[in-house]
Amino acid sequence: MSLHPRRRTVWAHWPTTVWLTVVWVLLWGDLSLGNVLAGLALAMVVTVLLPLPPIGWGGRLRPLGIARLAAVFARDVAVASAQVAAQAFRREPPHGAVIGVRLRASSDLYLTMTAELCSLVPGSVVVEAHRLTGTLYLHILDVGVAGGIEAARQAVLDQEERVLQAFASDAELAAAGLDAPRGVPRPGTGVPT
Q: Are 97 and 144 in contact (CB under 8 A)?
A: no
Query: pTM of the full predicted structure?
Result: 0.71
Q: What is the structure's pLDDT at 125?
A: 93
Residues in the chain: 193
So what's the pLDDT on residue 127?
Answer: 95
pLDDT for residue 154: 95
d(CA 25, CA 105): 38
What are the distances in angstroms from CA 101 to CA 29, 83, 94, 163?
41, 22, 21, 15
Nearest to 129 by CA among 101, 149, 152, 150: 101
pLDDT, residue 34, reads: 92
- pLDDT at position 65, please? 94
Q: Divide the 193 residues of the chain into consecutive groups of 10 and give the mean pLDDT of each group.
A: 50 79 90 92 86 76 94 95 90 91 91 94 93 93 89 95 93 86 50 46
pLDDT at 4: 47
Predicted pLDDT of residue 12: 64
